[in-house]
Amino acid sequence: MKIKPFSIELSDEAEVDFDKSYEYYYEDNPKVADTFFKNINLGFENVIQNPNSFPIAHKDVRKYVVKKFPFVIYNRIVDSMIQVIAIFHTSRNPEIWNDRT
């Protein structure tokens, strides 16, 4: 039996989270922004490969801690889709992403 691979989908809010953070890093240092971009994509790949291996943060929402940056990718599994609801800086109030669930 072949296991159907997971796909990933970013919410509009998660896209805004990423865009704002990337722009912030890019204004300060484009190389850091590029590293941020690569680490976020690596996070997506890791979540796709092992979606159930990350801890539950709230209800059915799991979290992936981004390497080398103070960010967490909050996501949930719906059928064979991984829905990213937030790409969140760890210093922000978690109630903001909780409202997205």
Residue 41: the pLDDT is 97
Predicted confidence (pLDDT) per residue in 33-87, tens digit: 999 999 999 999 999 999 999 999 989 999 999 999 999 999 999 988 999 999 9
Q: Which phi and psi (to 5°) does residue 54 adopt?
A: -105, 150
pLDDT at 96 over 90: no
- Contacts of residues 92-98 at CB distance under 8 Å and 24 or more positions apart, as own/partner, are 98/58
Distances (CA, A) of 86 to 4, 19, 22, 72, 97: 24, 12, 14, 8, 6
Half-sphere exposure of 90 (CA within 13 A, CB side): 11
Q: Domains in the chain and their CATH numbers?
A: 7-98 (3.30.2310.20)
